[in-house]
Amino acid sequence: MTFALVLFHDAASGTNPLVPEGELAALRALLAGVPGLTEALVFTPATAKDSYTDDGASPPLGMQLHFARLEELEAACAQGGALQGLTAALPSLAGTHATAQAFWRRTWAVPDPVPQVAAGALPCSFVVHYPGPAQDDNAWHAHYMHGHPPLFQRLPGIRGIEILTPVDWVSFLPHRKVRHLQRNRVMFDSPEALTAALQSPVRHELRADFHTFPPFEGGNYHFPMWTETVRP
């Protein structure tokens, strides 16, 4: 059972500045001390090529923070909570648009979940969000989770699959609260491995399944991101 808090910064100017390493180090130190946090994923921009989508440059920074209990997630987001230090830790992102949402995290098994990366290297995730809304959220999620994960499992080199669905929550973070219909993430060893999967025959099957989705609005957005794991 895992709740996930997802935060993303989108550059207001349309250009996505790289976060300096010193700020990333400060972010790691802050996250490592958040009470109740079991794991944090820190996303930074990568580049990969999809057969069907091109949503522009990846955001300068994203985070996915995992908690066992919703109350612990909300405590971190409370007035005086540990995550109130995020803005001070990331001065280079002042002026960017930042959003936050809480989710229930679902995972699916893959043949080999252990990334094969060189020392000092990071795996690469394809993070996707569907802003929504759907005509019927329940029918939409049921259809997606029935059809898409079995196809994800067949992507060459897949290392992880997760689907995030919204939960109601309380937050006093300065990030703008949003309620996207869904987020999902697949992980690979590298941007090259991700690109190979996105050019594979399974990708065409995923696209065909996409065209069977129940009615929804808002489109979808796909971004390749380097994925660093930070643990307390």
Angle, CA 133 vertex, CA 130 and CA 136 arms, to 5°: 115
pLDDT of residue 17: 73
Between β-strands 160-166 and 61-67, what pairing exists: parallel, antiparallel or unpaired?
unpaired
User: How many domains are contained in the chain?
Assistant: 1
Which residue reads 């930074």 in tokens? 44
The pLDDT, as a whole number, for residue 16 is 62
Q: Computed from CA positions of residues 215, 222, 51, 154, in that sequence, does the dihedral angle turn out positive or negative?
A: negative
Pick the closest to residue 137 from 99, 161, 162, 167 (CA basis). 167
For position 156, what pLDDT does the model report? 98
Tokens of 113: 């979940």
Helix (H) or strand (E) holding 9, with range, is strand 3-10
φ and ψ at residue 186, rounded to 5 degrees? -120, 145
CATH number of 18's domain: 3.30.70.100
H or E element that contains 6? strand 3-10
The pLDDT, as a whole number, for residue 229 is 97
Phi, psi of 165 (to 5 degrees): -120, 150
Q: What is the pLDDT along the chain (232 residues), one digit of tens a residue?
A: 699 999 999 855 556 678 999 999 999 999 999 999 999 999 999 999 999 999 998 999 999 999 999 999 999 999 999 999 999 999 999 888 899 999 999 999 999 999 999 888 999 999 999 999 999 999 999 999 999 999 999 999 999 999 999 999 999 999 999 999 999 999 999 999 999 999 999 999 999 999 999 999 999 999 999 999 999 8
| Among 161, 159, 166, residue whose Cα is nearest residue 150 | 161
What's residue 73's pLDDT?
A: 98
The predicted model scores a pTM of 0.96
For 114-220, where are the E strands, in sequence order?
124-130, 160-166, 176-177, 182-188
Closest CA to 52 of 115, 128, 109, 125: 128
Instruction: Give residue 147's Cα distance to chain centre.
Output: 20
* Domain range for 90: 3-230
Q: How many CB atoms lie within 10 A of CB 40?
A: 21
Closest residue by Cα to residue 100 from 126, 71, 61: 61
